[in-house]
Amino acid sequence: MNEPVIDLTAIGAVVFDTDGVVTDTVRGHAAAWKHVFDAFLRGRSEPFDLRGDYLRHVDGRPRLDGVRTFLASRGITLPEGAADDPPGAPTVHGLGLAKDQVFLGEVDKYGVAAFPATVALLHELRRRGARTAGVSASLHGRRLVGAAGVTHLFDVLVDGADAALMNLPGKPDPALLLEAVRRLALPAPRAAVVEAALPGIEAGRRGGFGLVVAVGRDGSGLPHGADVVLADLGDLTVRGRVLPLTS
DSSP state of 19: B
Q: Could you give the dihedral angle defined by the CA atoms of residues 59, 60, 62 and 63, in that order, rounded to the nearest 10 degrees?
A: 20
Q: Name the DSSP letter for residue 236.
A: -
- Chain centre distance of CA 135: 7
Please give the Cα distance from 62 to 49 (Å, whole number): 19
For CA atoms 185, 59, 148, 225, the dihedral sign is: negative
Phi and psi at residue 73, in whole multiples of 5°? Answer: -65, -20
> How far apart, in whole angstroms, are the C-alpha atoms of residue 192 and residue 137?
18
- Specify which residues 133 forms β-bridges with: 15, 156
Rounded Cα distance, 113 and 220, in Å: 22
DSSP string, 6-57: EETTT--EEEEETBTTTBS-HHHHHHHHHHHHHHHHTTTSPPPPTTHHIIII
How many whole angstroms separate alpha carbon 102 and alpha carbon 33? 9
* H or E, element range at 17: strand 13-17
Q: Which residues are catalytic?
A: 17, 19
Q: Could you give the CA distance from residue 11 to residue 226 in angstroms, rounded to a whole number?
A: 16
